[in-house]
């Protein structure tokens, strides 16, 4: 894991590269978010299916967080 200074440097460099290419950072980030969601659609579906099979357990976890 990169430390805070490395993260900031990477962000500045990536922003500069994207700007040179005429790409907005927010647009690029949104594209990356969409890519990871699309690539993991099966994982998301499996997770939701597993949750619907165990609604009582999920409800109990929510009650613990809310109670």
pLDDT tens for 21-36 read: 999 999 999 999 999 9
pLDDT of residue 53: 82
Q: Is 11's pLDDT higher than 90?
A: yes
Tokens of 45: 């579906």
For residue 16, what pLDDT is reported?
A: 97
- Quick check: 55 pLDDT over 70? no
Q: Give domain limits for the chain.
A: 24-67
Please state the pTM of the whole predicted model.
0.61
Q: What are 12-24's pLDDT values in tens digits?
A: 999 999 999 999 9
Contacts of 18 (CB under 8 A, 6+ apart): 24, 25, 28
SS3 label, residue 58: helix
Q: Are 44 and 37 in contact (CB under 8 A)?
A: yes
Q: Which of 31, 5, 7, 37 is nearest to 18 (CA)?
A: 31
Helix, strand, or coil here: 28?
helix
């Amino acid at each position: 894991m990169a430390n805070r200074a490395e993260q900031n440097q990477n962000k500045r460099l990536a922003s500069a590269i994207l700007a040179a290419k005429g790409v907005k950072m927010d647009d690029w980030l949104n594209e990356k978010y969409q890519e990871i969601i699309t690539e993991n659609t099966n994982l998301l579906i499996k997770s939701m299916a597993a949750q619907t099979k165990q609604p009582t357990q999920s409800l109990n976890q929510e009650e613990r967080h809310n109670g």
